[in-house]
Every structure is written in C-alpha cells, then in structure tokens.
Structure 1
Amino acid sequence: MQMAGRGEGEGKTVEALPPLAVAFAAGIALARLYLAPVTWLAGFLLVLGSVTLWLGVRRKTVLGPMLAVFLLLGALSLRIAEREIHAPLENFLGRQVVLSGYVHRVQSGDDKRVVFLFQVEQAAFPGEEPAKVRSRIRVSVFRPPAALVLTYGQRLRLSGELVVPPGQRNPGGFNYASFLAGEGVSATFAVGWQAVEILPGRGGYFWLAAAEGARGRVKEALTRWLPPPEAGLAAGLLLGETEQLAVPTEEAYRLLGLTHLLSVSGVHTAFVAAFALLVTRRLRQKLLAAVLAAVLVLGYVLLTGGEAPVWRSAIMLWLVLAARHLGREGDGVRALAAAALLMLFFRPHWLFSLSFQLSFLATLGILLLTPRLQANFSRLPRFLAGPLAVTLGAQLAVLPLQLSLFSLLPLLSVPANLLCVPLVGVFMWLGLLALVAALFSPLLAAPFCLAAYPVLGALNELPNMLAALPFAAVRPPPLPPVVWAGYFLLLGLFAGGVKICWTRPRLVLAALVILNLAVFTPFWGASLGGGSGRPLEVVFLDVGQGLSVFIRTPAGQNILVDAGGGRPGSNFDPGERIVLPYLRSRRVASLDLLVLTHPSEDHHGGMPAVLSGIAVRRFASNGETDDNETFLAVRELLAAAAVPELVLSGGDRLLFGENVVLEVLSPPLEKIRHTVDDVNNNALVLRLSFRDFSLLLTSDAEREALDRLLHQQPGRLSADVLQVPHHGSRRAMSAALLEAVGAETAVISVGRNTYGHPHAEALLLLQQKESAIFRTDLHGAVTIRSDGSGWTVEPQLSPAASDGK
C-alpha cells in the first residue's frame, strides 16, 4: 500500500479497514491468552507506530506495520479495559464492605430474588471512611419486599461480602467472569434485603433514566393490551427482553434458528431506520432528515439496553447515512469493519460475547454470500430469491459456531425465517407505532397492540408447529477443526466468485475421500480398540452441589456417571449449561454408558438435557424410582429413545476393553431398608480399575451402606483415588473407611450449600490420613489421568497439574 495524495491515502486507509479490524480483534484474543504487561505493549506500540509513521512519510508500503500496530492496539485495549474494570475494587474483594451507589440495570426479579447491575461510587470497610471509586458489580438481593420496584438511578447502600466472579470452572465451559467483564462488571454481591438501605436522590445519566422510563411505559402498554403469551413475545421482538417469553416458544425459536429475532439486531434496526426515514422524509433538508433518523435509531439503541448486535447495526446505519450525505458509495464490509473497530475499542470484552460473534458472522455472510447466492437463484421469482439468499447467507456463516456450541442443526431454519421474518416486519411497524404512542399514554397504544395481536399469534403458533415436526432439527456428531477449515475455504472461494467444477469425477472422489478422512480419523483409535497408549481419564465436573463424573477409557469409550442437579427454586440446568458443553468440547458423539447412581435431584437433575442432547447406548441404575418431575422426564426420554437399561447391584462387573473394569460394590441385590436415608444408602458404589490404578466412586452412600461394605468386603474398597461420599458429609466419613480405602488422593464434589458440606470432621479425617484433597467448589473440575500405574491430578483452577504416586 503506497501513501500517495491525500484523497488516495484516505481511500486506501478505508480499503484496509477489514484487515485492520481483524488484526485488532486478533490482538484482543492473544492478550487474553498471553498476559503481556501493559508497559511492554505500550513500548512495542510506540516503536512500531514510529516505524509506520516514518514509512508513511517516505511513501513506503505500510500495511504490514499497520497490521502489527493494530494487533498491539487490540492487546493494549483489553489490558487497559481489564485494569479499569478490576482495579477500583481489588482491595475490597473477599471482605465485608459497605458500598454506596445506584442501580444501573435491573436484570431479573421475582418474590424470591432480584438481580441488578450496581454502579459503585463509594466503598468502605465497616466503621471506616468511604473511598470514592467507580466500578460496577452484579448484585443479588434475596427475599425482597413484594412492593419493591427498582429502577435505573435508585440510590442504595449495600453491606456484605464482595466476591470475585468465577472464571471457567469446567473444560469447554462457560466463563462467568469473562461474561461479566463484557458488561463492565468486576465482582458479585449476594445479600438479604436486611443488608440493603434505600438512599434519597437519584444517580446516573438523565438519558439512560429517560430510556428506562420509556421502556417501562412500553412494557406496561404491551402487558395491558395483550394476553401474557403475546405480550412476552412482543417484548422480545420489540425490546429484546425474553424474561416473560413462554418457555416452549423460546425453545421453538432456538430449534428453528430464529433466536436472532428475539435479540434486537440488524433486522429490527432496519425497520426502525425505515420508520425514522419515513417520518422525516417530508423535511426538505436531507441533512436534517438524516440526523433525525440517526437520533431516533440512537434512542432505540438506548431503549433496548444497548447490546452488541443493536450497536453494530446502528453504527453501520450511521456510516451509510454519512456516506450518502457525502455523496460516496457505501461499502458494507468496510462499514462492518469500522463498526467492529469502534465497538471493540470501547468494549474489548465484547469479542468473547456470543451475541457479538453471531451478529458479525451473520452480517458478514449476508454481505459476502447474498450476491452470489442470488445470482444462482435467478430462476426463482424476485420476491423469493432475495429473502432466500439473505437467509441462506446468514445461516451458512453462523453454522460452524452454532454447531460447535449447541450441536444443533436446524433443518427448517431457512423456511422458518422466510415465513417469520415478513411477519416480524409487519409487527415491527405496528410495534413501533405502539411504542411511540405508549410514550405519551398506554391508552394510545391500544389500537396498535390490538392490531398486532393476530400477527403475534401467528409468530407464536407457527414456530411451535414447525418445531414439533420430527425433522425440525438434528444433532450431528462433533466435527474436527479440519472440517470447518475446509468449510470456510469453500465459503471463501464461493464468496470470491471462484468457480468450482463439481462435475469432474476425480475432484469429487478426492473431495469425498478427504472429507471422510477428516471426519472419521479422530474416531479410528476408538474403533480399532486397544489401549493405543492413551490414558484412562476421569473428570469430576464442577456442577455445584451435586455429582457428575465423565470417564473416557483408553479404547475411547465414553461413560457418564450422574449429571448434577439445580439448586431448589432455581431454573439453572447443569446438563444444558455444564455437562453438554463439556461433552461437545471433547467431541463426544455418543455415550457408551450413562449411569444414575440413585434417584436424587442433585444427581439426575441434568440428565434430561443430556438425553435430549446426545445419543446414549446404554443406561444403568440401581433400579430405584422416584415420582419427581425430573426423574419422570428421564424415564420418558429413555423410553422414547429405546435405550437398553441395566439394573446393577453388588457383584456386577462391566468390562471396557481388556483392562478397564467397573465393579459394583453396593447396593446388594436385596436393597438396604429402614435406615436414616434409604435413597442415599442404596446409591451405587462403583470401583473403577485400570491395571494397577483404581478409583472408588461412592456417590451419596452413607454410614450404614459403607459400614456394611467394611464388614463384608473390606479388601475390595482399596483405591488410589476416593470420591468422598455424600459431598463430605460427616454421616458418611469414618476413619475406618479411609483406612480400608487407603487413597492418597480425595476428590469432594461440592458446591454452595446449607448442609455444612464438606463437614470439618470429614476434612480433618482426610488431613490426618495426609490425603491430597481436591474440591470442585475451590478447584473447579478435577481431571485424573492414569497410564495404569501412576496418575496425575489436574484441577481446572490450578495453574499446574499435581503428580500422583
């Protein structure tokens, strides 16, 4: 790239925006992997910036140095953002503090808990003078008053412990700390209502308060004039709020690839822009009309909460309006690159946000693939060719991300979008009219809400009908990265206009051979059997107060023991949020065996999601039943998939290859009865052995069951690694048990609880035996690998693995 005249230089800089945006994003991603100090980054940036400036003055090629400069700028922006987010409160973390500030955004609320983002202005230790700070935290207040209504700007004083949010606690799992950092949040705070004091006055910015008030009036009008299902859907489509959306409808939209309609994005902003331009088109001053349209779009951005997709579409719209006013031809890809640079410069953590990634990938697919696709649809009617090309372009671009994260291929996505997007367009016109009317009075919004009712009914019923079809979506097996590399290569060639001749038999044959090798090679080792030098791998997933253990044998067989469970009163699904993401990250196509140790909510709570999300070849349990909703769902899913079932009892042995044995020690064939807790005492106790290595899984077995084993078969309890029974309950642990097991490593699967797990007496017994203790609440997931003689322990939250004996 040569630096010529002023106009030519500016033009070439604009042309370089896409690679510069990619370099900036790459810098952010690298800075997350490699913690380079800010001073180093700033020093390298100064040197490279000087070299780039010198080359530019001498009219030399500067694209390479500019890419390096933007790479460093991206890395530096993330480092600075992290410092701004975390530094103000770092001295207060993990301690009792008193915080003063105001409510930034209410995220959810009911009679049990209200959750909101809180802008901290002052922080102090109890009894000390407050210090001025500027930071944002996420607050959960339990048992709030029924009449409590929190809004933006409400001043509060909070007393409690400031907690560091957890990072990635499971391999392939959700990084909560990174997610909160994307919202500018540095810490979490959970207190009862007695620790909250309402202060007089208001805080924050008047335009955000105005947007909050407007959003409340719009929601009030929707709730007043529409039935609950349609009102919840209208709030999702118009404002991006899905809190009141019916669960079946939300699931149907997800299965059909329609979730982008519930997240305010380009589709919505385009209708808002068209509405704004329609309102201002009678103005003779085109500049004034464009400015007013831009202001109205900004108002909509603030009204909907300013998430990444709506900012992306708004910035691109503003750039297009500016280009038209200046008499220049707009370029979608460059506008997209400029939007990415602006957004990531101010919010670098957005790069790791799923909504940001999906929004930019879908837009890029529309910009690059739509023209080529439309040319191939020339024989179709124009009213169908255009929407079909746009829908297909977006779907092809987001497909790899969608499959890797959700293992879901929505087969009806294209027809569903073709049917629903026009209906959303009709609703948006009526919804925007209702929105404007509601700003003055909810009564004025009535005719527009009532007119939108049948459209909302169709948008509610149609996706539910399509999602109910057996072929609405499929879950293909995980694919290796090389397949996706080939996929993007083909998309790139297609977008670039390269003609690929598929009619040549040799090319077709070669492509099929390469594809088959790429897909099936990762599974050959498992298919051919044998140890092949692979270790036995056992992963205790961090599912909170529950248990879930993944086992992969040296022959590549996959076993899952239990699947955790949600907290009482919580809608958190560990199967959907923890177990399935882990299995997808390991590219597990199916489970050879799914084991339920006993019918307890904290062990089978995640199983419905697992059974719905991945193929299961065999299911094993102790044969006990329960009548709670989750267990009945497990039974229904097993029956629907015709999964063969095994009822295990003491003395049974399951062989996996030549050297891996899963031995059942308890319960006996005649179940244990009349104890303090028969359900726990009849839990499966399993001994996993691989050559000279062994591991004892005790599940929730308590003293009666374990004492029986100590009395009848103490020699079969010995193991190198012990899963501490019942999350460390003192009713399960005893010195005699530890003596019989002789484990040098102990793993406690435990989370926040009100039972006192793990009990101090249990921990003391382990310490007296000098066992290495690993706890999922402290260490996250715990991975154990053995070659059949020694073993290693690798906790997720520890910087290095610990060697076993």
Structure 2
Amino acid sequence: MRRLAAFAGSFSLGVFLAQYVLRGGWILAGAGLALALGFLSKLLPWEWRRRGVILCAALALGLGWSWLYARQVQRPAQEMAGRRSDFTATLCGYAEETDFGARAEVRVEGVPGKAVLYAGEELLDLAPGQTVAGQARFNDAARVRDEDITAFTSKGVFLLAYARGNLETGEGTRNSPRWLPARMGRAMRERIQVLFPGDAAGFLTAVLTGDRGGISEKAYTALAEAGLNHILAVSGMHCGFLMALAGFLLQSRKLQALLGIPLLAFYAVLTGGSPSVLRACVMLSLPLLAILARRESDGPTSLLAALFLILLANPFAAVSVSLQLSFAAMAGILWLTPRLRKGLVGEKKRGKTWGRLFRFLALAFSTSMGAMVFTVPLTAYYFGALVLIAPLSSALCLWAAAWAFSFGLLSVFVSFFYPPLGALLALPARLAAEYILLTAGLLSRIPCHAVYTANPYLKYWIVYAYCLFAAAYLARRTGRRKYVLASALAALTLALTLRLGAARYGSDLDALVLDVGQGQSVVLASEGTFALVDCGSANSWKDPGAAAARQLAAMGCERLDYLLLTHYDKDHVSGVTGLLDRLDVDTLLLPEGEDDAGPQEAVLSAAGAHGAAVRFITAEERLDFGRGTLTVYPPVGDAGDNERGLSVLASAGENDLLITGDMDAATEKKLLETFDLPDIEALVAGHHGSKYATSQALLDAVRPETACISVGSNSYGHPTEETLLRLARQGCGIYRTDLHGTIHLSWNQEESHG
C-alpha cells in the first residue's frame, strides 16, 4: 500500500508542477529530467534504489500526462476559440437560468472535453441526453477576455459556446439509463421544495444534491462568516453521512461493502462529481474493498490514490479550489486529529454522561482543528478570511448536519412512495436545518468572529503562528503547557495584529478604491467615521459586498455610518445586499431612480430588512465626517440612470477627493455649472475610464493630481486610450485596480500621500 501512496503522490506532484510551475516545452524537459534522475537512482543503496525509481518514474508520468492531456484535449478546443460555426451537442445535465437566458454543460461533437452552452430560455425545457444544433461563437474557457481563469477547466470544460439564432433540438439519448442520476437529482430537488419551506429547502437542496442556487444570500453569508459553508458543498462529510446511514440500515459490514461502492458512485454522479465528492468516494471505497479482500486499509494511501485518480481523469483539476481544500482538510484530519483528540481526552476517566459529552466535544474540536491546519493558508489566500469561530461552530452544528442529511434523505426517498410518512420524517431534518441557520446567524454577529487579509499584517501573523506551534511540537518538553503557552502567544499577537492593521487608517482622510473587478466600491474613513460609495461589480466571480465588509472590518469598522450609491447600475449596487448581510449600516443616501421595479426596489427592500435609514438626495448636502466633511451633490443630468446619479466630494482640510459615478462629459459640464467644485487632490475617474467621461473640461476645472480607475475584465475597452492620454497630459498619477489592486490614498491636514 505504501508503494501505491509513493507512486500516487509523486504523480500528483508532477501534475501540480505542470499546472503551477512549468509551461509548454518545459513540462517535457521536466519529465526528461525526472526520468534521468530515475536512472541515476540505480546508483543508490538497495533500500533506496526502488523508491527512487518509483518516485522519479511517477513524477515523469505526471508531467508527461499533463502535457499530453493539454495537447489532445485542451488544444483542439482552443483552436475553435474565436470562430463562429455550426455545431451539434448533447446536454450533460439540466440547464440553469442566467440573467440573459440559460446555460448548460454539453459535449460538442468532434471536440474533446465538455463545453458550456449559453442560449435562450428554451434550454430550460430540455433534458440530459437531448441534442441541440445550430450556430454558435466559441471562446476559450481558460481565458475570459483579458483574464486567465480556472473555474471551467478544473471541471473539464474547455469551450464556451454562445448560440446565435434558433437552435434545433432532438431526442438524442434522453431515455438512456446513463442520465438516471441527473433525473433523480432533479426529482429530489422538486420533492425538497414540497417538503421544506424557505431557507430550509435551499439548505437541504444544497446538502443532499449539491445545488446551492436555492439558498438565500443572507443564509449563505451567515454560514460563510461562521465557517459553516462547507456543509453546503457536498463533500466527504456528506459521503460519510451516507455510508453511516447505510450501515445503520443494513447492519452488516459485508453487505455494506457490497452495496456501498455502487451507492457512492451513484451519489457522486447525482451531485455533480465535484473533486471533494470524488475524493471521498474513492477514500471510502478503498476500505470497503479492503473488507471484501480481508485486508487492512490505509488512510494516507487512500487519500493519495483518490488524488491520483482525479488528476488522471483531468490534470486541470489540480487548480480546483474545492480539490485543494478537500485534500488539505483530509490530510490534516488524518495526521493531526488523532493526536489532538488523544491530547485532549488523555487517560483520565470521567463520569458516563459527562465523559461522553466531553469526548464528543473533543472529537468535534480536534476534527475541526485538524482540518484547519492545512486549509487556513488556502482560505486566507483564496477568500481573504480566517474564521476564528470555526471550531466552535463545528462543535455546535456538525451533529445537526448529520441529522439534517440523514432525515432529509430518508424523508425525500420515502415521500416518493408514501408522502405522509415522508412529511413526518422531514420534521427532524427541518428543525436541524433551521437550528444550523439560526446558530450561523448568531455566531456570524459575534465581534472578531473572523479576521481578514485586508489587514496586510495578518499574513505575517499566520506564518508566525505556524512557526510558533511547530516549535512547540518539536520542543522536547512533553505535556500540554507548551501548547497552552503557544496559544496564549498566538492570541496576544493576533490582537496586536488587528490593532496595527486598524492603526494604518488613522489619517484625517483615508480613501480606498477597492479591487472589485469591473465595478466600483470606494471606502472613506476619518477618525472612526466610515462611508462607502457604491458597492458593485459586473464580474460574476467577484463579491463586492464581501470585499467591502472585510476591508471595513480590517479598519476597525463595526458599523458603517453612510452607504452612498451614485446610481443603480449592477456594477455599482450588486454587492449591497451582501454588504448589509455582513455589516450594520446607519444611513443609505440614494438618488431617486426612474425604475422603481428595478434595482432601486431591491436596495430599498434590503435596507428595510436590515433597519437602515434611507434618504434620497435632492439638494446639496454637507455631512460631518470625522475630521473632514462629505459633500453629496444631487443628480444634474436630464435622463438615463448614469446621468441621474449622485456625486460625492470627500474633504479634509485642503485635500479633496471627487467621485462622479458614471456620468458622461455633458453631465460633468452641468455639475461644474451648478456647483462650485474646488481644486482636488484625487479623482475617481468616471465610468471606469470610458472615453465619454472624465472630460477635459472637468480636468481643467478641478485639476486633480492623482486619478484612480476602478476597472476589471470588460468588453467595453475600459479604460480607453483617450481617457488615459487626457489624464497623462493633465499630469495625473494614474492608478488602476486591475493593475495595482486596491488603491489606498491618505491625507492629513498639511500633507497627502498614496
């Protein structure tokens, strides 16, 4: 078994090197070097010779397989990118609704791998196995406009197809047993909607089928902030629940082993086959096979074998965040959890009742901490957060997750045959789901429940904490005292880190133009008073609400004084609901919108649900703001959402920052004619650098020294060369969020710097 672990681990290392380090011909060069080292390993002593050959051969195989897969599967798809041509495709699952129609995963005839087809709502009426034919424009799924992404390729999708004109549909193989898991998954989702109300239905749909589309943004935010969103992502935990339920019902290890493997395979397909599910299925199947073969199972070997099989099927899965988090968590559980549990429980005997409770809590805590050991750097890097309350939330809620899964699955299954009994079994699952959601909501409101890498010092603290506990582990002294001391030092230095992070924003006026992609969100702070101007992004992979809330939390903001929205375009307001779910807001300052049934209504509804006061700006208003002031100018344009927006001037002494939203040159002229604007130090360029905004007339009037452009991946050509040239001729220092990330400017009464 250990040889298999060595081979699988070395193969996986080769794949990761090919994805993250080596490119093109260098991959084959690396494979050749690995083979050469394999031959040289024959010179080693006998006990090392075989290991060297296995490790080097597997490393070369991983590199070579990555190169071959990219050449044979990805390259043909890339060669179609940029073309418009006829196609015929087979649906691999049910379509999902989008803002502009629907999309579905398909297999295009003559093209390896999968594609995502974007078309009209007619896709929603089709079933897996049916065919569609027509014309489409194809794009590379590894690159959307000017950004390299991995969300598609890590799932085996290498083409994006945008339908042009009407599509012809056919029956294809829709009645094939191959699509039974997909049909059953849809039937389960429909049944869950009948059995459960509101967020309980969305929660159980996610837990049982992997579809998180039905859970509200508020509930998902609470779960994420409490460190419980992993419950929604079908993973090894859910597969463990499934096998525990099967073991309880079958009462036979051999029968469980015989039926468990096909059951796990079916469940993996039903829930979409994410890397975390596949990992769990392989890891759980190997012990079942060991039972049938009467052999011992081995956790590390099972883990690495699962990784090998997933990467063999698709080397691009190595860059999947889900895969990395799943395997890192499992590695920590296998390595650290038993040690932690033994250290907590010890050899002392306790009373029967309290002993069971203590052992349960010790197991929950050690499992949570074991999983966190290797996942903390990943979550900090990918999501910018470290949820400190996660061990407590896991201890409080994991038992309820098992309860919700088990009774939820039973109720759905039974309801197909006898609905009254299914409804009765649904009651415990509903109570468990509502308990988890309530607990997550309460825990997510606790101050300092999480810390965020928007604090630049936090990454150094994470490195320090790992070194601290590593030193405690390696120290010769035995016992728990060294870990207690390490924990105390870690807590003390974390508190210092948070204070230092907040102290960075102690100027008379701080302004941060956040990197939210193609959108805008500007944080303003002065002497403990905070405002946010806009909160939105047009890029679906960005979460502007979370970005703003985390930045504000890193600055020590516990309550936002003002949220100002220049206008109601998606790229300026899409994150408002998420922000309100995470942070209390005193007052919203808004322009009157032309379409009350549109985004304005959604903003007003969210504000009402969270108790935020709302004021519509119809005349110039000057607001006290720490050591400075905020001047809010009402709309001056004639028509159009962009032109009927607010403008904001943040001032501290002689230093000023102007934000004009998306207004064009004509409206900028009216703003100058209507109000007396001062010379300013900084300007947030209008409309993300559009050539129709940030006019020469505005620049001549306010004479900014610094220009910040909030921009991301877009199809409009923002920022345009015309705008960049105008700013350069004006002598502005130009900063762009797509190139420089979040831009921080700060001013004191007599000085300014960025």
* TM value normalised by structure 1: 0.71
| Residue of structure 1 equivalent to 2:368 | 395
| Residue of structure 1 equivalent to 2:430 | 457
Q: How far apart in 2 are the matches of 1:262 and 1:99?
A: 36
Q: For residue 547 of structure 1, what is the amino acid of its counterpart?
A: Q
Q: How far apart in 1 are the matches of 2:432 and 2:113?
A: 41
| Residue of structure 1 equivalent to 2:450 | 476
2:213 pairs, out of 219, 223, 243, with 243
| Equivalent residue runs for 1:550-565 within 5 Å | 561-564=533-536
| Residue of structure 2 equivalent to 1:346 | 313
Cα deviation, 1:584-630, whole Å, max 9, x if unaligned, reads 9xx665499866253535434423433544688x9896898996332
1:333 pairs, out of 300, 307, 310, with 300
- What is the CA-CA distance between 1:387 and the residue it aligns to? 4.1
1:140 pairs, out of 85, 110, 118, with 118
Instruction: Flag the 1:595–1:472 CA change in 2: closer, same or farther, 3 A.
Output: closer
| Residue of structure 2 equivalent to 1:684 | 647
Correspondence 1:547 to 2:535: no
- What is the CA-CA distance between 1:211 and the residue it aligns to? 2.5
Q: Percent sequence identity over matched residues?
A: 22
Instruction: Flag the 1:27–1:349 CA change in 2: closer, same or farther, 3 A.
Output: same
Instruction: Flag the 1:383–1:495 CA change in 2: closer, same or farther, 3 A.
Output: farther
- What is the CA-CA distance between 1:322 and the residue it aligns to? 2.8
| Residue of structure 1 equivalent to 2:40 | 51
Cα deviation, 1:685-733, whole Å, max 9, x if unaligned, reads 4478999x99753223455653255458899457787603587384x56
Cα deviation, 1:10-36, whole Å, max 9, x if unaligned, reads 65x35757964884575366437x777
SS at match of 2:520: coil
- What is the CA-CA distance between 1:270 and the residue it aligns to? 3.3
- What is the CA-CA distance between 1:180 and the residue it aligns to? 0.9
CA contact (8 A) 1:113 1:141 kept: yes
| Residue of structure 2 equivalent to 1:600 | 568
Q: For residue 33 of structure 2, what is the amino acid of its counterpart?
A: F
- What is the CA-CA distance between 1:87 and the residue it aligns to? 0.9
| Equivalent residue runs for 1:48-127 within 5 Å | 48-52=37-41, 55=44, 58-60=46-48, 74=62, 77-106=65-94, 108-109=96-97, 113-121=101-109
Q: For residue 607 of structure 1, what is the amino acid of its counterpart?
A: V
- What is the CA-CA distance between 1:38 and the residue it aligns to? 2.6
Unpaired runs of 5+ residues, structure 2, are none
Q: How far apart in 2 are the matches of 1:744 and 1:728?
A: 19
SS at match of 1:188: strand
- What is the CA-CA distance between 1:548 and the residue it aligns to? 2.2
CA contact (8 A) 1:23 1:68 kept: no
SS at match of 1:157: strand
**In the comparison of the two structures, how many residue pairs are matched?**
722
- What is the CA-CA distance between 1:310 and the residue it aligns to? 2.0
- What is the CA-CA distance between 1:49 and the residue it aligns to? 2.8
CA contact (8 A) 2:200 2:434 kept: no
Q: How far apart in 2 are the matches of 1:49 and 1:705?
A: 70
Instruction: Flag the 1:424–1:74 CA change in 2: closer, same or farther, 3 A.
Output: same
CA RMSD of aligned residues (A): 5.5
CA contact (8 A) 1:750 1:775 kept: no
Q: How far apart in 1 are the matches of 2:452 and 2:119?
A: 40
Instruction: Flag the 1:447–1:696 CA change in 2: closer, same or farther, 3 A.
Output: closer
Correspondence 1:723 to 2:723: no
| Residue of structure 2 equivalent to 1:154 | 130
Q: How far apart in 2 are the matches of 1:346 and 1:746?
A: 48
- What is the CA-CA distance between 1:100 and the residue it aligns to? 1.9
Instruction: Flag the 1:428–1:85 CA change in 2: closer, same or farther, 3 A.
Output: same
CA contact (8 A) 1:182 1:349 kept: yes
CA contact (8 A) 2:331 2:371 kept: no
Unpaired runs of 5+ residues, structure 1, are 1-9, 122-131, 435-441, 793-805
Instruction: Flag the 1:190–1:594 CA change in 2: closer, same or farther, 3 A.
Output: farther
Instruction: Flag the 1:52–1:101 CA change in 2: closer, same or farther, 3 A.
Output: farther
Correspondence 1:300 to 2:267: yes
1:424 pairs, out of 365, 390, 405, with 405
- What is the CA-CA distance between 1:320 and the residue it aligns to? 1.0
- What is the CA-CA distance between 1:453 and the residue it aligns to? 1.9
Q: How far apart in 2 are the matches of 1:257 and 1:785?
A: 29
2:661 pairs, out of 695, 699, 705, with 699
Instruction: Flag the 1:781–1:293 CA change in 2: closer, same or farther, 3 A.
Output: same
2:155 pairs, out of 169, 183, 198, with 183
CA contact (8 A) 1:21 1:337 kept: no
Q: How far apart in 1 are the matches of 2:729 and 2:736?
A: 18
Q: How far apart in 2 are the matches of 1:540 and 1:227?
A: 37
Q: For residue 177 of structure 1, what is the amino acid of its counterpart?
A: I
Instruction: Flag the 1:674–1:521 CA change in 2: closer, same or farther, 3 A.
Output: closer
CA contact (8 A) 2:205 2:212 kept: yes
| Residue of structure 2 equivalent to 1:27 | 17
CA contact (8 A) 1:135 1:186 kept: yes
Q: For residue 93 of structure 1, what is the amino acid of its counterpart?
A: A
| Residue of structure 2 equivalent to 1:269 | 239
| Residue of structure 1 equivalent to 2:697 | 736
CA contact (8 A) 2:684 2:710 kept: no
CA contact (8 A) 1:99 1:158 kept: yes
Q: For residue 144 of structure 1, what is the amino acid of its counterpart?
A: E
| Residue of structure 2 equivalent to 1:129 | none
- What is the CA-CA distance between 1:178 and the residue it aligns to? 0.7
Q: How far apart in 2 are the matches of 1:228 and 1:653?
A: 42
SS at match of 1:60: helix
Correspondence 1:575 to 2:537: no
Instruction: Flag the 1:294–1:589 CA change in 2: closer, same or farther, 3 A.
Output: same
SS at match of 2:108: strand
Q: For residue 323 of structure 2, what is the amino acid of its counterpart?
A: F
Q: How far apart in 1 are the matches of 2:19 and 2:125?
A: 40
Correspondence 1:527 to 2:503: yes
SS at match of 1:541: coil
* TM value normalised by structure 2: 0.75
CA contact (8 A) 1:687 1:695 kept: yes
Q: For residue 262 of structure 2, what is the amino acid of its counterpart?
A: V
Q: How far apart in 2 are the matches of 1:317 and 1:158?
A: 43
| Equivalent residue runs for 1:508-527 within 5 Å | 512=488, 516-517=492-493, 520=496, 524=500, 527=503
